C-alpha cells in the first residue's frame, strides 16, 4: 500500500511504540503499563490514565531478564520483562497484571520487586466461568477501581466509566471494520498492515486510536490498486503476536493472512460488552465470559467431543467460514502451557472442519521464524 500520511503514521507508531505515551506523559497524563488482554482497560481509561500494553522485542536478546526469571518461563513474557528491566517503560507510572496464565500470574511479585514502579495492582480474575465467579470478579473490579481512585486522588464517576466503555465499544467496531476489508479476494490490505495498525492503536489513548482507525478505513476504501492474483487464504491461530514477523513471512511466501485468532487480534476485539445498565457487571462479563482463552475453564458441553469442541472453539470455526479460510497455522510459543495443552484438541477440531492445519512451536525471536520457513512454504504449496 502506498505510504501516504496515515500509513506513515502507523509505521512510526509501530516502530517507535510508546512514543505518543511519552508525549502525553510530558503533558502530565499518567501512563499505566499492563500485561495481557484480560486487563480491564476501561477502568484505567475512566480514571483519566493512559493504558499502555507492554510489548516485547523479537530483535532484542533476552539477557537481564533471564537473571531474574527461569528460562523455562514463556519467552514472550521473558522478553516483556527483559525490555522493561532495560528501561523501555521507565516513563510509566504504574503496572497492572491480571490473573492470566501461570507465567504472568506467578511473576507479579518479581515485576514489583525488580521494576520499582510507583503503583501496581494485581487483578484477580477467576479461572472458572460461573455465576459465583462473576460475582467474585465484579467485587475484584470494584477493589481495582478503588485502588485506581486512591492513586488518582479522585473518584471514578459512573459517567466517566460509561464514556470509557463507549469509546472501547467504538474501538472494537472499527477494528471489525478493518478486518471486514480482508473478506474480499484478493484483499485490499495485507494482514501485516492490519497487525501494524492494531499494534499502533494499542499505544494510543482510545479516542486517538479510534481516529487512527477511521483514517485507515477511509484510505482502504480509496485504494484502487488491488492485486489481481488470488492466493491461499490463511488464519493464524495462537496466543500473543505483538509483531508482524510471522505474518509478513507467510504473506511474502505467497499467501494472504485474512484473519487471526490471537491476543492483540480478534480475541481482543470480537467480543461485545452488551448491556451496560450495571457497568461493573458488564466489564466483568466481558473479561471473564466473553473472551475465549485457554486459561479460563468452562464446563463440558454435551456427551461427545464434537459438542464440547464446538462450545470451546466454535468462534474459530465461525471466523474460518466468514473469511473463507483455506488453511490454519497454529503457532504456539515454547513453554506456553495453556495453549500447548490445547493443541491436540484444537487440531482435532480443525480437522473436523476439513481445514488443513500446520502446527508450529517456536521461540519469541525474529531469528526463530527463519527455522520455520521450509515447513510454511511446504504447507502453502499443499494448499495450492
pLDDT band, very low/low/confident/very high, at 4 (cuts 50, 70, 90): low
Per-residue pLDDT reduced to its tens digit, 97-143: 999 999 999 899 999 999 988 899 999 999 988 999 999 999 999 99
Per-residue pLDDT tens digits for 293-322: 899 888 777 778 888 888 889 999 999 999
| Region class of 3: left (phi > 0), else alpha (psi between -120 and 50), else beta | beta
In a domain, residue 225? The reply is no
Structure confidence by residue, pLDDT tens digits, 331-356:
999 999 999 999 999 999 999 999 99
What is the sign, positive or negative, of the torsion defined by CA atoms of 172, 95, 16, 335?
Answer: negative
Neighbouring CB atoms inside 10 A of 165's CB total 20
Render pLDDT for 157-204 as a digit per residue (tens, 0 to 9): 999 999 999 999 999 999 999 999 999 988 999 999 999 999 999 999
Domain that holds residue 70: 16-154
What does the pLDDT look like over 15-28, one tens digit per residue?
999 999 999 999 99
Confidence at residue 301, expressed as pLDDT on a 0 to 100 scale: 77
In a domain, 241, yes or no: no
pLDDT score recorded for residue 300: 76
Let me know if residue 248 belongs to a domain.
no
Domain for residue 78, yes or no?
Answer: yes
The total of structural domains in the chain comes to 1
Judged against a pLDDT cut of 80, whether residue 275 lies above it is answered with no
Over residues 356-372, the pLDDT tens digits come to 999 999 999 888 787 88
Q: What is the pTM of this model?
A: 0.94
- Specify if 375 maps to a domain: no
Look at 31-45, 78-92, 295-309 and tell me which has the smallest mean pLDDT: 295-309
Contact 92, 54 (CB under 8 A): no
* Average pLDDT of span 39-65: 97
Residue written as grid cell 504472568:
104
Lowest-pLDDT range, 5-19, 142-156, 217-231, 271-285? 217-231
Of the candidates 48, 20, 266, the one whose C-alpha atom is nearest the C-alpha of residue 163 is 48
Confidence of residue 279 (pLDDT cuts 50, 70, 90): very high
pLDDT at res. 297: 83
Give the pLDDT of residue 1.
Answer: 43
Would you say residue 235 lies in a domain?
Answer: no
Which CATH number does the domain housing residue 86 bear? 3.40.50.11890
State how beta strands 31-34 and 50-53 pair: parallel
Whole-angstrom CA distances from 211 to 10, 201, 208 are 12, 10, 5
pLDDT tens figures, 205-264? 999 999 999 999 999 988 766 666 789 999 999 999 999 999 999 999 999 999 999 999
Residue 242 lies in a domain: no
Which residues have C-beta within 8 Å of that of residue 295, sequence separation ≥ 6? 38, 100, 101, 127, 338
Per-residue confidence band for 2, with pLDDT thresholds at 50, 70 and 90: very low
CB-based contact 198:175 (threshold 8 Å): yes
Rg (CA), the chain: 20
Q: For residue 291, say if its preceding peptide bond is cis, omega within 30 degrees of 0.
A: no
The pLDDT assigned to 226 comes to: 66
In a domain, 167, yes or no: no
Amino acid at each position: 500500500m502506498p505510504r501516504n500520511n496515515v500509513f506513515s503514521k502507523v509505521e512510526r507508531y509501530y516502530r517507535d511504540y510508546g512514543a505518543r505515551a511519552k508525549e502525553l506523559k510530558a503533558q502530565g497524563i499518567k501512563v499505566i503499563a499492563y500485561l495481557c488482554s484480560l486487563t480491564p482497560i476501561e477502568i484505567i481509561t475512566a480514571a483519566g490514565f493512559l493504558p499502555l500494553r507492554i510489548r516485547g522485542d523479537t530483535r532484542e536478546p533476552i539477557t537481564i531478564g533471564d537473571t531474574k526469571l527461569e528460562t523455562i518461563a514463556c519467552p514472550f513474557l521473558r522478553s516483556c520483562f527483559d525490555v522493561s528491566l532495560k528501561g523501555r517503560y521507565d516513563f510509566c507510572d504504574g503496572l497492572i497484571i491480571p490473573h492470566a496464565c501461570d507465567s504472568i500470574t506467578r511473576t507479579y511479585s518479581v515485576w514489583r520487586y525488580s521494576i520499582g514502579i510507583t503503583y501496581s495492582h494485581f487483578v484477580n480474575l477467576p479461572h472458572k466461568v460461573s455465576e459465583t465467579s462473576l460475582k467474585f470478579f465484579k467485587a475484584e473490579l470494584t477493589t481495582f477501581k478503588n485502588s485506581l481512585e486512591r492513586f488518582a486522588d479522585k473518584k471514578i464517576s459512573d459517567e466517566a466509566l460509561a464514556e470509557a466503555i463507549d469509546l472501547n465499544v467504538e474501538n472494537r467496531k472499527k477494528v471489525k471494520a478493518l478486518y471486514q476489508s480482508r473478506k474480499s479476494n484478493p484483499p485490499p490490505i495485507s494482514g501485516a498492515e492490519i497487525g501494524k495498525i492494531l499494534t499502533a492503536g494499542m499505544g494510543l489513548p482510545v479516542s486517538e486510536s479510534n481516529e487512527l482507525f477511521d483514517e485507515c478505513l477511509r484510505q482502504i476504501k480509496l485504494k484502487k490498486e488491488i492485486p489481481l492474483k488470488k492466493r491461499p487464504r490463511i488464519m493464524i491461530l495462537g496466543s500473543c503476536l505483538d509483531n508482524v514477523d510471522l505474518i509478513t513471512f507467510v504473506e511474502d511466501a505467497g499467501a494472504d493472512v485474512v484473519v487471526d485468532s490471537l491476543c492483540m487480534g480478534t480475541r481482543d476485539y470480537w467480543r461485545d460488552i452488551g448491556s451496560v445498565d450495571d457497568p461493573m457487571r458488564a466489564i466483568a462479563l466481558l473479561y471473564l465470559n466473553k473472551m475465549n482463552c485457554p486459561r479460563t475453564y468452562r464446563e463440558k458441553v454435551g456427551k461427545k467431543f464434537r459438542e464440547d469442541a464446538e462450545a470451546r472453539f466454535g468462534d474459530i470455526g465461525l471466523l474460518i467460514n466468514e473469511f473463507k479460510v483455506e488453511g490454519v497455522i497454529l503457532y504456539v510459543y515454547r513453554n506456553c502451557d495453556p495453549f500447548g495443552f490445547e493443541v491436540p484438541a484444537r487440531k482435532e477440531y480443525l480437522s473436523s472442519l476439513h481445514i488443513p492445519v500446520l502446527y508450529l512451536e517456536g521461540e519469541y525471536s525474529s531469528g526463530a521464524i527463519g527455522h520455520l520457513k521450509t515447513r510454511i512454504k511446504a504447507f502453502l504449496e499443499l494448499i495450492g
